[in-house]
Chains A and B, each alone.
Chain A
Amino acid sequence: MLRVEGLDVQYGRIRAVRDVSLEVSQGEIVGLLGPNGAGKTSTLGAVSGRLPVAGGRVLLEGEQLDGRPAEEIVRRGVSLVPEGRHVFATLTVAENLAIGATVRKDRAQVAEDIERQLERFSVLRRYYRSNAGKLSGGEQQQLVIARALLSRPRLLLLDEPSLGLSPLLVDLVFETIEQLRAEGLTILLVEQNASRTVEVADRCYVLRGGELVAHAPRGDLSPEELGDIYLGAGER
């Protein structure tokens, strides 16, 4: 479904991602792991159109995504849940969800979809008319995921959804990811929590220093090996 070929991403003269190629097939969960500063967020940024692509190509089912603005890419079915819970704090939960459905043309279905998300994340129903800024971190994370789903994406990009959450909420996030897979959604998941990611993902890529250093199907990377990669000991 998603093909990234030889991707380069730059910030001014600093190169954050170098020659990264990866693939995500329909219905898969693919993990993207790596230490801090490895270039994971930058990779998702380039796929979602948030950052310019300095080199290489990004294709969604053969259609070129790179060079298109973010607002067009989400219309083509790629939705990003960025790092750090970017809710619209001065908008209500209801308005946040409505913004999530901006790209939808089937207005009638949207109300149903919102209802479905409110069932999945029941806290959101409780605070439906409150400002999103009032929600706790975990609640905001749920809102951001629900908002991204309201665009009915074909591919969901999740950037560190469990970061800074309590263990209970981390469980909830990973349960949600499993659920979404069961619903047939394709997911590219960036995580620091490597062991949990390896559990849910069909395959994992590992980035370090902006380059792809490993690629393994499920079970092929043991937590110990991952630890090595994070510490920079094992070059595979």
Chain B
Amino acid sequence: MTTSTRPWLRAGVLAAVLCALVALATLLGTLGGPRLDRATGIALIMLIVVVGLKIFVGDSGIFSFGHVAFMGVGAYTTAIVMMAPAQRAFQLPELPGFLADLELSAFEAALLSGVVAAVFALLVSLPLMRLSGLTASLATVALLITCHSVLQNADRFTRGSGGLILIVEPPALLTLLVCACVTIVAALAFRQSRIGLRLAASREDEVAARAIGVRVWWERGIAFVVSAFVLGVAGSLFVRYVGSINPDSFFLSLTFTAIAMLVVGGLTSVSGAVIGTIVVSVALEVLRVIESGVTIGGLEIPSRSGLASVGLALVLLGVLLLRPAGITGGRELSELVPRRSRRAEQRPAEPDARTGPPPVPVGAVEE
């Protein structure tokens, strides 16, 4: 392999394009009043979550259902360390002494949240990285449930299912936008790094990757910890932005939304993560408007809670059935631009095509 700077150059251009796309979407989001502002802020945080999730899932090929737990860890960390001491004495009277008087800045709290989530991920990854495929995915489900249960019961730190309230200045949209762009750049840089390339090779063909010296568990572990750090930071931003959290905030519903965004966009590329987040966020916002009751052309649609989620589930099912590799087909935008000589070698295989069961004959579905 030549030590060309070309891949880095292309990644840089791609990063610029994706960031511009996100900035444009954010700008459009600010044109619609306070309600849309808030939705835009949440969407930017989800973007960080989904791109962070992609860092592990997209390159390792292992689907994680447990990442939202890292977001929860980050959010609770920030809530505890940023809370005003008076609030803390009221909400969490039994907190150990060294935590009782802390008052960190937003930046320090975000960093700490990321680090705590990453350390937690490191501990979890020791057993987890031994696994692959479905078993690993199922273990992450067990992880999510365990964390949820702990958050519900560790009253001393979390106030149980009552949750915590954090009254601080919420991050500005611009701050969220900058964080989202930094995450995109980081994810693209990780993908181009030695470890990222090795990891992607292991997703394509684990056996062959091992043969060229990829340890797989090592590369996966690093990606896992890095992506947990990103999710921890996202959790920190989340709790500051929404002001209150409880264990259910970081459970199945959020997991589902994040998965839907990643799968709809295409889970093996950063472009997919970004586009999926934008598309699903817009769709969800439209559905929420309908859900709260609207009149379209004289036809009155009554308010029905649950409708937005039904719509989201249908969108995800539709994509899974009709275009399982997602809108982008799992490719980066830069690969979609026709480039005669390079195209064939750069095009990634369908995700996991090789680990699935043998191809099903055309007429597999009998009538």
Minimal beta-carbon separation of B108 from chain A (angstroms): 50
A49 touches which of B350, B361, B365 (Cβ 8 Å): B361
Tell yes or no: A69 within 8 A of B by CB.
yes
A51 to B360, CA, bound (A): 7
Contact A69 B364 (CB under 8 A): yes
Interface, chain B (partner A; CB < 8 A): 349-350, 353, 358-366
| Contact, CB under 8 Å: B359 / A11 | yes
Interface string of A20-58 (1 = CB under 8 A from B): 000000000000000000000000000001111100000
Question: A68 at the A/B interface (Cβ < 8 Å)?
Answer: yes
Q: Is A175 an interface residue (CB 8 A)?
A: no
Asked if A12 and B353 sit within 8 Å, CB to CB, the answer is yes
Q: Which chain B residues lie closer than 8 Å to A11 at the CB level?
A: 359
A63 contacts partner chain B, Cβ-Cβ < 8 Å: no
In the assembled complex, A72 has its CB within 8 A of some CB on chain B: yes
Q: How far is the CB of A145 from chain B (nearest CB, A)?
A: 22
A–B Cβ pairs within 8 angstroms, 26 of them: A11-B359, A12-B349, A12-B350, A12-B353, A49-B361, A49-B363, A50-B358, A50-B361, A51-B358, A51-B359, A52-B359, A52-B360, A52-B361, A52-B362, A67-B362, A67-B363, A68-B363, A69-B361, A69-B363, A69-B364, A69-B365, A69-B366, A70-B361, A71-B366, A72-B363, A72-B366
The answer, among A53, A71, A72, for a CB contact under 8 Å with B362, is A53
Give chain B residues whose Cβ lies under 8 Å from the Cβ of A70.
361
Please, what's the 1-or-0 string for A56-93, where 1 marks a CB less than 8 Å from any CB in chain B? 00000000000111111000000000000000000000
Determine the distance from Cα of A70 to Cα of B362 in the docked complex, in whole angstroms.
Answer: 10
Q: How far, in whole Å, are A142 and B91 apart by their CA atoms in the complex?
A: 74
Cα A72 to Cα B364 with chains together (Å) = 10
Residues of A within 8 A of B361 (CB): 49-52, 69-70
Find chain A residues with CB under 8 A from B360 CB. 52
Complex Cα–Cα for A81 and B358 (A): 17
Min Cβ gap A76→B in Å is 13
In Å, the complex CA distance between A49 and B365 comes to 12
Residues of B with C-beta under 8 A to A12: 349-350, 353
Q: How far is the CA of A67 from the CA of B361 in the complex (A)?
A: 7
Most buried by A among B350, B361, B362: B361
Contacts of A72 in B (CB 8 A): 363, 366
Tell me the A residues contacting B by CB distance below 8 Å. 11-12, 49-53, 67-72
Complex-state Cα separation, A49 to B360, whole angstroms: 9
- 18 more CB-based (< 8 A) A-B contacts, given A11-B359, A12-B350, A49-B363: A12-B353, A49-B361, A50-B358, A51-B358, A51-B359, A51-B361, A52-B360, A52-B361, A53-B362, A68-B363, A69-B361, A69-B363, A69-B365, A69-B366, A70-B361, A71-B366, A72-B363, A72-B366
Taking the nearest CB of chain B, how far is it from the CB of A19, in angstroms?
A: 19
- Please name the residue on chain A nearest to B350 by beta carbon: A12
CB neighbours (8 Å) of B349 from chain A are: 12
Residues of B within 8 A of A53 (CB): 362
Name which residue of chain B comes closest to A48, CB basis. B361
Name the 5 nearest CB pairs between A and B, nearest first.
A52-B362, A69-B363, A52-B361, A67-B363, A68-B363
Least CB separation from B353: chain A residue: A12
Residue of A nearest to B344 (CB): A13
Name B364's closest neighbour in chain A (CB-CB).
A69
B242 → chain A closest CB, angstroms: 45
Q: Using Cβ atoms and an 8 Å threshold, which residues of chain B touch A69?
A: 361, 363-366
Q: Which of chain A's residues has its CB closest to B347's CB?
A: A13
By a CB distance below 8 angstroms, the chain A residues around B363 are: 49, 67-69, 72
Q: How far is it, in angstroms, between the C-alpha of A71 and the C-alpha of B365 when the chains are bound? A: 11
B-side contacts of A51, CB under 8 Å? 358-359, 361
B354 (CB) vs chain A CBs: closest residue:
A12
Q: Could you tell me the distance between the alpha carbons of A165 and B364 in the complex, rounded to whole angstroms? A: 34
Smallest Cβ distance from A73 to chain B, in angstroms?
9
CB distance from A61 to the nearest CB of B (A): 19
Contact residues in B for A52 (Cβ distance below 8 Å):
359-362
Beta-carbon nearest neighbor of B366 in chain A: A69
With a cutoff of 8 Å between Cβ atoms, the chain A residues found around residue B358 in the complex are 50-51
What residues on A are CB-neighbors of B365 within 8 Å? 69
How far, in angstroms, from A52 to B364 measured CA to CA in the complex?
9
Most B C-beta atoms less than 10 A away, residue of A68, A69, A71: A69
Min CB gap B349→A, angstroms: 7
* Residues of chain A contacted by B353 (CB below 8 angstroms): 12
